Amino acid sequence: MSHRYFCGYNPPPPNFKTFFLPKYEDRLKRLPNFGKMREEWEIQKRPLLIMLHLFADNFGALEKWMDLAYRLAGPDSIGPEMDFYVDDLWACYIFNEDDFSFHRGDEGTSVDSSPLIYGVTSLGEVHFFGGFDGPTIPSLETLGDFCRRVIKGDLEEPTTCGSTITEIDLADWNEMIYSVDEDIAVCFYNSQQNGTTVNDSLMQNLERLDSHLKQESVRLYKLDLRGGSAPKKFSVETVPALFFLPRLQKTNPIKCKYELGQWSMLRFVAENASKELNYYNRRGHRRLHAELLAHMKEFFHTNIDKA
């Protein structure tokens, strides 16, 4: 399938309006339009299961997932307690009409890929059926358990790697760098510039970078060069400067050649990570499952705030 930009303002798949077979309509729903989705959920506050895929135009490969959802949505199963939505990803622009930038066929997705599945509790909490690195293959048992926990509201956010910005100095440099079996990004700065636009902007962007790396195995350090110099092999002509140390090549630091904004620093980390990040591809673009999770959390959180 060709790689093409795919959003709510571009044409949907050729059979977008017809792929949903009538035999499913007594238990499963398609995502409605933006306004109707808001209205329905705000009134009913029912738990939801939302199962999404990328290939409405190859329905034969997807029917097994539709059948799975249909079985769980039965009157003698979970259907009376939650609503089940099954749709092509194109419909998901309803979760953010102004900022929808998914790619169809992106990042190796194929008809053999697992669907993207999200559960929404009656309180508007959104949970992904999978891990930081992507979706889990559903079965009747595992997806049924997920649905029941969504209904009970006892699912917790997955534990993150908890990336934080650690201040280090030259005295503990070797211990902090070489005893860690993870990638490291280290920013050199000069505290004599504190209070200036340069340092204020830098610290804000480092905090934002840190928030983007919560699900990643990357350590983020900063080192004050006030009155000192960087370790050997680091070509620091001016500060601030950002370097990346891959976990198996820490003696070969890579210097960031971009301006030190949050997105350029994220791209730099994503490009040089030992393995591709969980939430971001090599270009620093958020992966499909993570991007949609962010949009859905905002969508339902906004509804909570309005209630």
Question: Which H, E and C letters describe 134-173, residue by residue?
Answer: EECCCCHHHHHHHHHHHHHCCCCCCCCCCCCEEEECHHHH
What class is the 4-158+286-306 domain? alpha beta
Domain positions in the chain are: 4-158+286-306, 165-272
pLDDT beneath 70: ranges in the chain? 1-10, 34, 54-57, 100-111, 161-163, 302-307
Q: Of the candidates 95, 82, 87, 93, which has an alpha carbon nearest to the alpha carbon of residue 121?
A: 82
- The reported pLDDT for the residue numbered 109 is 59
In 3-state terms the chain splits into helix, strand, coil percentages (rounded to 5) of 35, 20, 45
Residue 157, C-beta contacts closer than 8 angstroms, at least 6 positions apart? 127
- The reported pLDDT for the residue numbered 1 is 33
CA angle 192, 209, 235 (to 5 degrees): 50
Angle at which helix 197-212 crosses helix 262-272, to 10 degrees, equals 50
- Element containing residue 205 per DSSP (H, E): helix 197-212
Give the integer Cα–Cα distance in Å for 211 and 188. 19
Residue 171, C-beta contacts closer than 8 angstroms, at least 6 positions apart? none
Give the integer Cα–Cα distance in Å for 294 and 276. 20
- The reported pLDDT for the residue numbered 302 is 66
Q: Are 243 and 185 in contact (CB under 8 A)?
A: yes
**Which CATH number does 165-272 carry?**
3.40.30.10
- The reported pLDDT for the residue numbered 101 is 64
- The reported pLDDT for the residue numbered 92 is 83
Are both 4-158+286-306 and 165-272 of the same fold? yes
Q: Of the candidates 94, 237, 99, 219, which has an alpha carbon nearest to the alpha carbon of residue 161?
A: 219
Give the integer Cα–Cα distance in Å for 64 and 230. 58
Contacts 24+ apart (CB under 8 A), 137-142: 138/65, 138/68, 138/114, 139/68, 140/68, 140/71, 140/72
Coil, strand or helix at 124: coil
